């Protein structure tokens, strides 16, 4: 019974951790869906959004603002910072690269990553800044059935709820709005979209802004969990296997991919780790991704691309 | 605007931050500083770098340098990455009229890499409280100075403190002690000493690795929740430490049964976890936080003149460690000057200074470090100088010292040093020096 309880505990915590990875992966999916660009800078955008939020929040609280007002103002300030970032990226990085090869656009986002990481730390500091927006204690479920119960972290559950709301909102945005449809058109072909009058610069600004806002949401959860700090940028590396598994173009795929990676790596660490030295969860996620790549290169939910030769 | 643009570009690229430009003048001693002010380990790297820099500034401002020889320094950003650390070393080793005086990389990974390079360049490596534990043996590691304590010292003292809490060394028998460690050369260092202790004292030892940078530890702590060890030793760095404390709190593991190494016992390790850190214990590399006599001089000659690089970290644990690091390095130079004269010295001459450095109680008091350090003496054979440590506990607001000094059991550790350094000598084809023939 203890063994099954332990399995359940690891499995549930893995699923919930996976949802948190999905929060970061969603930002990648948005930009890829709308522009065909794999945005390597998404992890650094989470850092920038988190730092802007926590530093403004601390400043406002120190100035005597009530907590609720400080949170609202802090979120607005961070959103403005992400809007400025979106504008700068569109104007000075992507704009001049319209119709360039996907690899060139990808390389440009690597440069954007370094710029954002450096600028964020330069402007807002490199310390660990605690953020306490959600409860961080845990529930202990089924204590009658399993000795000690099944531990479920409240912050992880909050992450799950937020991810669900985000996915629903993004699905509506893409399917039901004019901008959403324009984004999909741009993703298919930059030049064709431009030729039918879709303003590419505006669309790219919107999509980077939305990705920035998703990064801000991810930062509220991850910042509460870890404190806002540079290590948040490493989440981008967690999102990569999630995307490979779920598919680069699917919002639901990012969620399912996150669940598979989260549960898979936690179970592997708990049950395989002791036999092969432990500390395996980082690379195990990539093993899962490799298996999916071999069997279904476009990912479980990705669009199958058929090209005429 | 131009200035801001350049600064932004520099920050973005993570390039060197120059604290005081190396002017390469004839009568300046060049001391490089490998730092990490950006990246995942910056919260811990910054206070140490600030302490290092402020003490050098103090010597320049108060005394006109070391015996009149001013210190010129230059920082190089490593980001705690070994490849960047080696790059910084190569860039700075030849600077100044006599080359770099010594290097302190504040990274076990970089120390491992530079240990291979410094014999060729003849530059001492001061690795205070980190690096290869067997480098205490100066006969095999002539250029490494693992001053004040090694990871094996730390592991041994941690076990002694646990035994003290349990009411005696015999009560360790049958207990379970787990080590949650950063999966890197740094985190793996104490395992040999802890395994030795486990054999000797009859406790069950389990090592649990956490992958860099340590933000994901859920599975490890769920395993600890099931296993319920009597104590957990924490060998983390940077974000890993506060994450461990938070995860321990989440699974209900008592914080007062956790003992961190001295690199897991500073303010950035506990403050992010808030009240969850209350009761958490950590080893002290002898010193703790707070102001001592040397801070009166720092206040007068550095801080009040606006020349300090420190902000909120002034007199915190890692800031003080940086100050001590610079004090030991510059005292080694001062010692060497007695033999070679008051002029900029080469790394080889400074190594002689390290090997003849005797920080007596009187000298420590004179330097303003009374209460921070115990006397220590380095020799050709002993490159560690001291084997003692204390334990501190976080009360939610500050660190409180909760033990006296423990002396590491050298009957256990010295054979390990001898054995491991002999293996290193064979592997690297090093003929150990005969210290009895050196003056």
Convert A117-143 into a string of H (helix), E (strand) and C (coil): HHHHHHHHCCCCECCCCCCCCEEEECC
Tell me which chain A residues have a C-beta less than 8 angstroms from the C-beta of B276.
136
Average pLDDT over every residue of B66-95: 95
Average pLDDT of the residues of chain B: 92
- Considering only CB atoms, A10 lies closest to which of B39, B219, B249, namely B219
Residue whose C-alpha is closest to residue B217's, from A258, A270, A163, A25: A270
Q: Where are the alpha helices (DSSP H) in A63-101?
A: 67-89
Residue whose C-alpha is closest to residue B148's, from B363, B303, B273, B327: B327
Residue whose C-alpha is closest to residue A243's, from A13, A17, A33, A100: A33
User: What single DSSP character describes residue A305?
Assistant: P
Same-domain pairing of B47 and B195: no
Distance between CA B95 and CA B73 in Å, rounded?
Answer: 10
- As a whole-number percent, the residues of chain A with pLDDT over 90 amount to 37
Please answer yes or no on whether A126 and B37 come within 8 Å at the CB atom: yes
pLDDT tier for residue B95 given thresholds of 50, 70 and 90:
very high
Domain residues for B430?
2-150+289-388+419-437
- From the CA of B37, how many Å to the nearest CA of chain A? 7
Predicted local distance difference test score (pLDDT) of residue B2: 41
Q: At residue B161, does pLDDT exceed 70?
A: yes
3-state SS string for chain B? CHHHHHHHHHHHHCCCCCCECCCCCCCEEEEEEEECCCCCCHHHHHHHHHHHHHHHHHHHHHHCCECCEEEEEEEEECCCCHHHHHHHHHHHCCCCCCCCCCECCCCHHHHHHHHCCHHHHCCCEECCCCCCHHHHECCCCCCEECCCCCHHHHHHHHHHHHHHHHCCHHHHCCCEEEEEEECCHHHHCCHHHHHHHHHHHCCEEEEEEECCCCCCCHHHHHHHHHHCCCEEEEECCCHHHHHHHHHHHHCCCCHHHEEECHHHCCHHHHHHHHHHHCCCEEEECCCCCCCCHHHHHHHHHHHCCCCCCCCCCCCCHHHHHHHHHHHHHHHHHHHHHHHHCCCCCCHHHHHHHHHCCEECHHHHHHHCCECCECCEECCCCECCCCCEEEEEEECCCCEEECCCCEECCHHHHHHHHHHHHHHHHHHCCCCCCCHHHCC
Q: At residue A101, does pLDDT exceed 90?
A: no
Predicted local distance difference test score (pLDDT) of residue A203: 86
Let me know: does B213 contact B239? Beta carbons within 8 Å. Answer: yes
Same-domain pairing of B178 and B271: yes
Count other Cβ atoms within 10 Å, centred on residue B238. Answer: 29
Q: Which residue of B has its CA nearest to A136?
A: B250
Q: Which residue of B has its CA nearest to A135?
A: B250
Predicted local distance difference test score (pLDDT) of residue A213: 93
Q: Residue-wise over B98-116: b if at least 16 C-beta within 10 A, else e? A: bbbbbbbbbbbbbbbbbbe
Let me know: does B205 contact B198? Beta carbons within 8 Å. Answer: yes
- From the CA of B369, how many Å to the nearest CA of chain A? 28
Name which of A89, A113, A128, A225 to mutate to probe chain B: the one with the most chain B Cβ atoms within 10 A of its Cβ: A128
pLDDT tier for residue A307 given thresholds of 50, 70 and 90:
low
Please answer yes or no on whether B215 and A234 come within 8 Å at the CB atom: yes
Same-domain pairing of B210 and B238: yes
Distance between CA A252 and CA B402 in Å, rounded?
Answer: 53
Q: Which residue of B has its CA nearest to A139?
A: B250
Angstrom CA distances, B343 to B11, B54, B335, stand at 35, 22, 12
Determine contact: A13 vs chain B, CB below 8 A: yes
- Domain A2-295 class in CATH: mainly alpha
Same-domain pairing of B130 and B209: no
Cis peptide before B213 (omega within 30 of 0): yes
Q: Which residue of B has its CA nearest to A116?
A: B12
CATH number assigned to the domain comprising residue B168: 3.40.50.2300
- From the CA of B27, how many Å to the nearest CA of chain A? 35
Distance between CA A233 and CA A114 in Å, rounded?
Answer: 11
pLDDT tier for residue A2 given thresholds of 50, 70 and 90:
low
Predicted local distance difference test score (pLDDT) of residue A146: 81
Give the tens place of pLDDT for each residue, B264-305: 999 999 998 989 999 999 999 999 999 999 999 999 999 999
Please answer yes or no on whether A118 and B37 come within 8 Å at the CB atom: no
Tell me which chain A residues have a C-beta less than 8 angstroms from the C-beta of B238.
231
Q: A182 or B122, which is more confident?
A: B122
Q: Chain A, 234-293: which have a CB under 8 Å from a chain B CB?
A: 234, 238, 265-266, 269-270, 273, 277-279, 281-282
Predicted local distance difference test score (pLDDT) of residue A196: 86
Residue whose C-alpha is closest to residue A121's, from A215, A230, A39, A42: A230
Predicted local distance difference test score (pLDDT) of residue B25: 64
Same-domain pairing of B399 and B368: no
Q: Which residues pair with B407 in a beta bridge?
A: B388
Q: Which residue of A has its CA nearest to B248?
A: A137
Q: At what angle do helices A2-35 and A235-246 cross, to 10 degrees?
A: 80
Distance between CA B210 and CA B214 in Å, rounded?
Answer: 6
- From the CA of A114, how many Å to the nearest CA of chain B? 6
Please answer yes or no on whether A126 and B46 come within 8 Å at the CB atom: yes
User: What single DSSP character describes residue B253?
Assistant: -
Residue whose C-alpha is closest to residue A220's, from A130, A133, A153, A161: A133
B144-145/B125-126 β-pairing: parallel
Distance between CA B199 and CA B204 in Å, rounded?
Answer: 9
Q: Dihedrals φ, ψ of B407, to 5°?
A: -100, 130
- Rg, chain B, Cα only: 21
Q: Which residues pair with B39 in a beta bridge?
A: none
Residue A124's Cβ-count burial label (10 Å; 0-12, 13-18, 19+) is buried
Same-domain pairing of B293 and B433: yes
Size of interface A-B (CB pairs under 8 A): 127
Angstrom CA distances, B380 to A1, B100, B354, stand at 60, 21, 9
Distance between CA A52 and CA A80 in Å, rounded?
Answer: 9
Predicted local distance difference test score (pLDDT) of residue B5: 44
Least reliable range by pLDDT among A81-85, A214-218, B319-323:
A214-218
Please answer yes or no on whether A121 and B223 come within 8 Å at the CB atom: no
Tell me which chain A residues have a C-beta less than 8 angstroms from the C-beta of B215.
226, 231-232, 234
Query: Tokens at residue B122, please?
Result: 């003849």
Q: At residue B16, does pLDDT exceed 80?
A: no
Predicted local distance difference test score (pLDDT) of residue A180: 83
Average pLDDT over every residue of A193-209: 86
Q: At residue B310, does pLDDT exceed 60?
A: yes
- Total domains present in chain B: 2
DSSP three-state, residue B85: helix
B231-235/B176-182 β-pairing: parallel
Predicted local distance difference test score (pLDDT) of residue A135: 86
Count other Cβ atoms within 10 Å, centred on residue B192. Answer: 18
Please answer yes or no on whether B220 and A269 come within 8 Å at the CB atom: yes
Determine contact: B170 vs chain A, CB below 8 A: no
Tell me which chain A residues have a C-beta less than 8 angstroms from the C-beta of B241.
none
Please answer yes or no on whether A151 and B250 come within 8 Å at the CB atom: yes
Let me know: does B286 contact B148? Beta carbons within 8 Å. Answer: yes
Please answer yes or no on whether A277 and B209 come within 8 Å at the CB atom: yes
Predicted local distance difference test score (pLDDT) of residue A309: 64
Expressed in percent and rounded to 5, the helix, strand and coil fractions of chain B are: 45, 15, 35
Q: At what angle do helices A235-246 and A42-62 cross, to 10 degrees?
A: 130
Please answer yes or no on whether B42 and A127 come within 8 Å at the CB atom: yes
Same-domain pairing of B199 and B335: no
- From the CA of A221, how many Å to the nearest CA of chain B? 14
Please answer yes or no on whether B219 and A279 come within 8 Å at the CB atom: no
Q: Which residues pair with B391 in a beta bridge?
A: B283
Tell me which chain A residues have a C-beta less than 8 angstroms from the C-beta of B225.
9, 148, 151
Distance between CA A216 and CA A208 in Å, rounded?
Answer: 12
DSSP three-state, residue B103: strand
Same-domain pairing of B320 and B393: no
Average pLDDT of the residues of chain A: 88
Q: Which residue of B has its CA nearest to A20?
A: B216
B388-394/B376-377 β-pairing: unpaired
Give the tens place of pLDDT for each residue, B115-135: 999 999 999 999 999 999 999
Please answer yes or no on whether B216 and A281 come within 8 Å at the CB atom: yes
Residue whose C-alpha is closest to residue B370's, from B282, B260, B262, B296: B296
Name which of A41, A226, A239 to mutate to probe chain B: the one with the most chain B Cβ atoms within 10 A of its Cβ: A226
Predicted local distance difference test score (pLDDT) of residue B10: 46
Determine contact: B215 vs chain A, CB below 8 A: yes
Distance between CA A55 and CA A123 in Å, rounded?
Answer: 10
ipTM over 0.90: no
Same-domain pairing of B136 and B178: no
Same-domain pairing of B337 and B223: no
Predicted local distance difference test score (pLDDT) of residue B4: 44
Q: Chain A, 208-237: which have a CB under 8 Å from a chain B CB?
A: 225-227, 229-232, 234
- From the CA of B195, how many Å to the nearest CA of chain A? 16
Biggest CA pair distance of chain B = 68
Same-domain pairing of B178 and B267: yes
Same-domain pairing of B408 and B424: no
Please answer yes or no on whether B183 and A278 come within 8 Å at the CB atom: yes
Q: Chain A, 122-181: which have a CB under 8 Å from a chain B CB?
A: 122, 126-130, 132, 136-138, 148, 151, 153
- From the CA of A284, how many Å to the nearest CA of chain B? 12
Give the tens place of pLDDT for each residue, B224-270: 998 999 999 999 998 899 999 999 998 999 999 999 999 999 999 99
């Amino acid at each position: 019974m203890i063994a099954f309880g332990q399995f359940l505990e690891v499995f549930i915590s893995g699923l919930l951790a996976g949802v948190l990875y999905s929060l970061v992966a969603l930002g990648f999916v948005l930009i890829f869906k709308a522009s065909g660009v794999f945005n390597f800078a998404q992890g650094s955008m989470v850092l920038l959004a988190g730092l802007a939020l926590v530093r403004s929040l601390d400043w406002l609280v120190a100035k005597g603002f009530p907590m609720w007002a400080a949170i609202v103002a802090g979120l607005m300030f961070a959103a403005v910072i992400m809007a400025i970032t979106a504008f700068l990226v569109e104007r000075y990085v992507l704009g001049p690269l319209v119709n360039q090869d996907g690899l060139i656009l990808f390389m440009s986002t690597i440069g954007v990553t370094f710029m954002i990481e450096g600028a964020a730390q330069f402007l807002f500091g490199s310390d660990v800044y605690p953020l306490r927006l959600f409860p961080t204690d845990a529930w202990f479920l089924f204590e009658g059935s399993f000795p000690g119960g099944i531990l479920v972290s409240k912050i992880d559950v909050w992450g799950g709820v937020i991810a669900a709301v985000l996915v629903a909102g993004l699905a509506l945005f893409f399917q039901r709005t004019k901008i959403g449809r324009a984004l999909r058109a741009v993703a298919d072909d930059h030049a064709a979209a431009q030729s039918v009058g879709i303003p590419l610069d505006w669309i790219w600004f919107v999509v980077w802004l939305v990705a920035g806002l998703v990064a801000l949401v991810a930062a509220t959860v991850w910042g509460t969990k870890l404190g806002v700090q540079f290590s948040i940028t490493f989440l981008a590396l967690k999102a990569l296997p999630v995307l490979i598994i779920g598919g680069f173009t699917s919002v639901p795929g990012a969620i399912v991919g996150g669940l598979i990676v989260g549960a898979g790596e936690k179970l592997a660490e708990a049950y395989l780790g002791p036999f092969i030295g432990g500390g395996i969860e980082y690379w195990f996620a990539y093993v899962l991704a490799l298996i999916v790549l071999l069997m279904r290169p476009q990912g479980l939910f990705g669009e199958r691309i058929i090209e005429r030769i | 605007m131009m200035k801001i643009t350049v600064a932004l570009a520099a920050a973005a690229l993570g390039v060197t931050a120059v604290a005081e430009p190396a002017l390469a003048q004839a009568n300046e001693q060049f001391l490089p500083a490998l730092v990490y002010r950006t990246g995942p380990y910056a919260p811990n790297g910054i206070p140490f770098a600030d302490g290092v820099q402020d003490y050098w500034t103090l010597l320049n401002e108060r005394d006109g340098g070391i015996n009149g020889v001013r210190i010129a320094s230059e920082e190089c950003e490593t980001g705690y990455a070994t490849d960047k650390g080696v790059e910084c070393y190569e860039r700075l080793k030849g600077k100044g009229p006599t080359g770099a005086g010594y290097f302190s990389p504040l990274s076990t990974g970089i120390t491992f890499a530079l240990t291979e390079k410094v014999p060729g360049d003849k530059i001492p490596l001061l690795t205070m409280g980190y690096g290869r534990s067997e480098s205490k043996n100066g006969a095999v590691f002539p250029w490494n100075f693992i001053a004040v304590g090694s990871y094996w010292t730390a592991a041994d003292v941690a076990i002694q403190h646990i035994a003290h809490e349990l009411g005696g060394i015999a009560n360790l028998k049958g207990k379970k002690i787990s080590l949650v460690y950063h999966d890197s050369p740094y985190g793996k260092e104490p395992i040999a000493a802890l395994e030795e202790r486990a054999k000797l004292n009859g406790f069950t030892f389990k090592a649990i690795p956490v992958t860099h940078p340590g933000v994901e530890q859920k599975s490890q702590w769920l395993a600890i929740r099931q296993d319920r060890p009597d104590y957990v030793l924490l060998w983390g760095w940077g974000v890993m430490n506060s994450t461990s404390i938070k995860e321990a709190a989440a699974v209900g593991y008592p914080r007062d049964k956790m003992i961190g190494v001295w690199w897991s016992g500073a303010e950035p390790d506990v403050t992010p976890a808030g009240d969850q850190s209350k009761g958490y214990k950590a080893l002290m590399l002898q010193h703790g936080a707070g102001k001592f006599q040397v801070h009166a001089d720092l206040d007068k000659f550095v801080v009040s003149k606006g020349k300090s690089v420190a902000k909120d970290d002034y007199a915190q644990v890692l800031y003080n460690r940086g100050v001590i690091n610079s004090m030991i390095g510059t005292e080694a130079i001062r010692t060497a000057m007695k033999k070679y004269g008051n002029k900029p010295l080469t790394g080889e001459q400074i190594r002689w200074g390290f090997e003849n450095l005797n920080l007596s109680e009187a000298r420590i008091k004179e330097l303003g470090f009374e209460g921070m350090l115990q006397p220590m003496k380095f020799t050709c054979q002993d490159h560690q100088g001291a084997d003692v440590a204390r334990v501190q506990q976080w009360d939610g607001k500050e660190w409180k010292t909760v033990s006296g000094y423990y002396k590491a059991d050298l009957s256990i550790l010295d054979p390990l040093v001898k054995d491991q350094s002999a293996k290193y000598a064979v592997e690297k084809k090093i003929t150990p020096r005969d210290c009895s023939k050196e003056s």
